[in-house]
Amino acid sequence: MNGGNCTAPGVCSCPPGFQGPYCEGGICTEKCLNGGKCIQKDTCECSKGYFGLHCEFSKCVIPCLNGGKCKGNNICRCPTGFKGDHCEIGRRSPQRSTCTRACRNGTCQPDNTCLCDSGWFGKLCNKNKPWA
């Protein structure tokens, strides 16, 4: 495989950047992380849910809101005007509103929805995030 010269089963002379009994594996100068596999010279094939040159970043399990961008390891980069772990909090003070049902751990919004405080979720912000 990969241009190797095999003289017997499992006995191969591999070209630069490859290794293994049949030259099937790559040689990566830096280790592939999070279960990633080196497939050719300095190229990692990442496990599901990971990305990056060496599979060093995990995709955001909880998506970033309000136009925020996932920067790996569940870290969101929020656009101007938003903050919070997932860009769920508007920085401007919301208009005073009256919700039909009280928000437990959050703020009532003009559209009769709850904007949850960090670490809480659900329609009434009454569910605690175990990962927060």
Q: Domain range for residue 76? A: 60-92
What is the pLDDT at residue 1?
A: 65
Same domain, yes or no: 52 and 9: yes
Same domain, yes or no: 11 and 41: yes
All residues at 6 or more sequence positions from 90 whose CB lies less than 8 Å from its CB, including other chains: 66, 81, 82, 115
Same domain, yes or no: 70 and 27: no
110 pLDDT tier (thresholds 50, 70, 90) = confident
Query: Dihedral angle at the C-alpha atoms of 68, 72, 73, 79, nearest 10 degrees?
Result: -20
> How far separated are the first and last CA of the chain, in Å rounded?
47
Contact 59, 70 (CB under 8 A): yes
What is the pLDDT at residue 35?
A: 92
How much is the average pLDDT of 61-81? Answer: 82
Same domain, yes or no: 109 and 130: yes
Same domain, yes or no: 66 and 39: no
All residues at 6 or more sequence positions from 32 whose CB lies less than 8 Å from its CB, including other chains: 38, 44, 45, 46, 54, 55
Please give the residue that has the higher pLDDT: either 26 or 127: 127
- State the chain's mean pLDDT as an integer: 80
The reported pTM is 0.38
Same domain, yes or no: 31 and 16: yes
In whole angstroms, give the CA distance from residue 95 to residue 77: 25
- Range name among 14-18, 24-28, 42-46 with the lowest pLDDT average: 24-28
**What percent of the chain stands above pLDDT 90?**
3
| Res. 53: pLDDT tops 70 | yes
pLDDT digits (tens, 9 = 90+) for 73-88: 678 889 888 888 888 8
Same domain, yes or no: 10 and 52: yes
Same domain, yes or no: 52 and 65: no
pLDDT digits (tens, 9 = 90+) for 88-105: 888 754 445 567 778 888
16 class by beta-carbon count within 10 Å (0-12 exposed, 13-18 middle, 19+ buried): exposed
Same domain, yes or no: 88 and 44: no
| Res. 26: pLDDT tops 80 | no
> What value, to the nearest 5°, has the Cα angle with vertex 97 and ends 93 and 101?
125
CATH number, domain at 70? 2.10.25.10
User: Considering its fold, how many domains does the chain have in total?
Assistant: 3
